[in-house]
Structure 1
């Protein structure tokens, strides 16, 4: 348990900034001068990646609430 806690704290406080673009998209968008399209596409990819996690988290929350109220 101690190793898991240390790993969690280490990964939480010492994260690296990463980009969510594939290599081909990044190469095409870096040639653009304004870089606004690259930032927009990067934000869109992160948004699309977050939706499944939010949905699964919501389902788990509702299941927890349903079975948590039955035990009382």
Structure 2
């Protein structure tokens, strides 16, 4: 029981850490192209797109890790 609650607590803490921080990622080329005061909306849209593209691999790796964990636990209990 202790291991399950510890795992749940660590997953909740990880989710809070990942989703609570605001990221403003932008490459040097994008920053130069969108620099200036008239492009604030476009620059924010580019930042949001970069963060969205960055999250997809992390979600996939987490899903695969969870599937491996479940298979390991099922195999260990049998």
Please give the per-residue CA displacement for 1:27-69, whole angstroms capped at 9, x wherever unaligned: 2212251411100110110110111111011001001001101
Alignment of 1:30 with 2:35, yes or no, is yes
Question: Number of matched residues?
Answer: 58
Gaps of 5+ in 1: 1-11
Residue 43 of structure 1 is matched in structure 2 by 48
CA–CA distance in 2 between the matches of 1:58 and 1:71?
20
Residue 54 of structure 1 is matched in structure 2 by 59
Q: TM-score, normalised by structure 1?
A: 0.67
Say what the alpha-carbon RMSD is for the aligned residues: 2.1
Q: TM-score, normalised by structure 2?
A: 0.63
